[in-house]
């Protein structure tokens, strides 16, 4: 039996990168995948077509995770279509330009924090009532090791991710009695992926002093997310998992 057979999973930021590969892995394990992202990211719906062609089940619903109205509409559509929500994967990664503290304005710093935290707040707020009603649910937040281990020039991005890490623990504590878990996956450098992307030369250098000998591929991160969504992680909550090949250890 597939480990996620029949489970209904919402993946924000699901049209690209780690989110896209996560959708594919979840569908391969039998999940019914709801792919959501900003409208321009879902214009061709190629991810859902790929999943359906492979025999899986997926729908694409454009939505801005920062919008309470759009998140409520998304949840209503999912409940109407599938009757429940088993897993929420918060993968909305806001782009972060490198800047030292001396270069930052309050406005740019505040924007990074607001975009990051509002996205996880509104998305979580929208799904929690359905999960409470069914007395079960999994929430998985995609963070970054910069939230705990500072990287020069990324103070705004790292502070936002640090806030996300704390938010997740509070969600885990408050909603555990309802059978709802909340866990954090924190990648470091990922090959060809968004704010974590580095050059091939940098990849080689970082890989040379990483215990497992390389930086992460997007599939590596998607695999950890898929594990946390499955039955093997049913007694995990409030955890923080760095996906760095041992470069960062907990």
Look at residue 132 in the predicted model and tell me its pLDDT: 98
2 domain residue, yes or no: no
250 domain residue, yes or no: no
21 domain residue, yes or no: yes
102 domain residue, yes or no: yes
Q: Provide the number of structural domains found in the chain.
A: 1
39 domain residue, yes or no: yes
1 domain residue, yes or no: no
Q: How far from 47 is each of 12, 17, 36, 95, 173, CA to CA, in Å?
A: 13, 11, 11, 22, 34
Q: How far from 55 is each of 8, 32, 180, CA to CA, in Å?
A: 16, 11, 29
* Confidence (pTM): 0.94
pLDDT in tens, 55-95: 999 999 999 999 999 999 999 999 999 999 999 999 987 66
Its domain, for residue 121, covers 8-243
The residue length of the chain stands at: 250
CATH number at 134 reads 3.40.50.720
206 domain residue, yes or no: yes
pLDDT in tens, 180-229: 999 999 998 888 765 556 778 888 888 888 889 898 899 999 999 999 99
174 domain residue, yes or no: yes
């Amino acid at each position: 039996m597939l480990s996620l057979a029949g489970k209904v999973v919402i993946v924000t930021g699901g049209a690209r990168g780690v989110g896209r590969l996560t959708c594919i892995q979840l569908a391969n394990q039998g999940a019914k995948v709801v792919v959501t992202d900003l409208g321009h990211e879902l214009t061709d719906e190629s991810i859902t077509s790929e999943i359906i062609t492979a025999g899986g089940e997926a729908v694409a619903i454009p939505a801005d995770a920062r919008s309470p109205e759009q998140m409520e509409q998304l949840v209503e559509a999912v409940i109407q279509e599938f009757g429940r929500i088993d897993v929420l994967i918060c993968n909305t990664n806001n782009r972060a330009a490198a800047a030292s503290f001396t270069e930052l304005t309050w406005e740019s710093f505040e924007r990074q924090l607001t975009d990051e935290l509002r996205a996880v707040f509104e998305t979580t707020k929208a799904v929690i009532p359905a999960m409470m009603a069914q007395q079960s649910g999994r929430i998985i937040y995609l963070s970054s090791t910069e939230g705990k281990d500072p990287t020069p020039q990324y103070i705004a991005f790292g502070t936002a991710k640090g806030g996300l890490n704390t938010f997740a623990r509070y969600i885990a504590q408050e909603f555990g009695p309802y059978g709802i878990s909340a866990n954090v996956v924190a990648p470091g450098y990922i090959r060809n992926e968004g704010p974590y992307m580095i050059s091939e030369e940098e990849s080689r250098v970082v890989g040379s002093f990483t215990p497992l000998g390389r930086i992460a591929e997007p599939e590596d991160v998607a695999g950890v997310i898929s594990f946390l969504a499955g039955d093997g992680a049913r007694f995990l909550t409030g955890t923080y998992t760095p996906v760095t090949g041992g470069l960062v250890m907990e």
